[in-house]
Amino acid sequence: MIEMLKAILFGIVEGVTEWLPVSSTGHLILLDELVALNVSPEFKSMFDVVIQLGAILAVVVLYFHKLNPFSPQKSGEEKKQTWSLWAKVILAIIPSGLVGVLFDDWMDAHLHTSTVVAAMLILYGVAFILVEKAYQGRLTIQNVNQIDYKTALGIGLFQCLSLIPGTSRSGSTILGGILLGAGRAAAAEFSFFMAIPTMLGASAIKLLKFFLSGVGFAGGEISILLIGCIVSFLVSLMVIRGLMSYVRQHSFSVFGVYRIALGILVLAYFAFVK
């Protein structure tokens, strides 16, 4: 029962931080320092990634009509526009996919540390504040369908930065989108859509590595994984709606302040408490 409650907590943290530009992986690493799951290291490494499947499903549910090129309610031109959007999304995920496949093991071994997480939290927190001030009023792309292939590829290159724990996948892509002229809502939506194939691919790789390790599921680990995914799905539904409503009226600067404060707190914790 205790492990199930922990799984619920991890699901809540994943559902909240996956879509906010504050780093879900970084938060999960830090949460594990405080509330560690009683599971094998192989399962934990897989769990931190596969739990994102619940969050992906939330995007599919909320944007199903917009992402469905076969919808009978769409005109021929709208269906063509939807196929074009998917083509841009696929193009955008190629850079991080290549880097992830080539360097996933190395990054797991060398970058999943509290120091790296704290440094990235602070660095990108400062970046959000500076970019918001510099680019206010200069964003010309207000609709996700206005993102062209060049901009999509540029956002995809920014997503490569998110492979460093503490950076944030949504944070790097939204920041990249703003730097390339996309409005907050358009950048956030495109980031959500990129998450679908990105997380599916990352989860598939982690699951394959887990099964190839020969460890297998022990005890209630399957239940822990399912609970984490279900909770992250339910929480993500609320967070995505809330974030889209928020960014239409406010800047991302508040998340920059939060990242800096959390980064400092993490450094202090591991320097004086841990």
pLDDT digit string (tens) for 208-249? 888 888 777 777 888 999 999 999 999 999 999 999 999 888
In whole angstroms, give the CA distance from residue 88 to residue 192. Answer: 13
Q: Is the pLDDT of residue 137 over 70?
A: no
Q: Where are the domains of the chain?
A: 2-272
Angle in degrees, 0-180, between the axes of helices 76-110 and 184-212, rounded to the nearest 10: 50
* Structure-token pair, residue 6: 């922990």
Average pLDDT over residues 194-208: 87
Q: What is the pLDDT of residue 265?
A: 87
pLDDT digit string (tens) for 121-133? 999 999 999 998 8
- Which residue from 87, 96, 63 is spatially nearest to 192, judged by alpha carbons? 63
Q: Read off φ and ψ for residue 141, nearest 5 degrees.
A: -95, 105
3-state secondary structure the chain: CHHHHHHHHHHHHHHHHCCCCCCHHHHHHHHHHHCCCCCCHHHHHHHHHHCHHHHHHHHHHHCHHHHCCCCCCCCHHHHHHHHHHHHHHHHHHHHHHHHHHHHHHHHHHHCCCHHHHHHHHHHHHHHHHHHHHHHCCCCCECCHHHCCHHHHHHHHHHHHHHHCCCCCHHHHHHHHHHHCCECHHHHHHHHHHHHHHHHHHHHHHHHHHHHHCCCCCCCCHHHHHHHHHHHHHHHHHHHHHHHHHHHCCCCCHHHHHHHHHHHHHHHHHHHHCC
pLDDT digit string (tens) for 1-48? 788 999 999 999 999 998 999 988 778 777 887 888 888 888 888 888
More confidently predicted of 109 and 55: 55
Instruction: Please report, to the nearest 10 degrees, the dihedral formed by the alpha carbons of residues 36, 42, 44, 46 taken in order.
Output: 170
**How confident is residue 191, by pLDDT bands cut at 50, 70 and 90?**
very high
Return all residues near 23 (Cβ < 8 A) that are at least 6 apart: 17, 117, 120, 121, 165, 166, 167, 168, 171, 259
Burial class for 137, CB neighbours closer than 10 Å (0-12, 13-18, 19+): exposed
**Whole-angstrom Cα Rg for the chain:** 18
Q: Read off φ and ψ for residue 180, nearest 5 degrees.
A: -95, 5
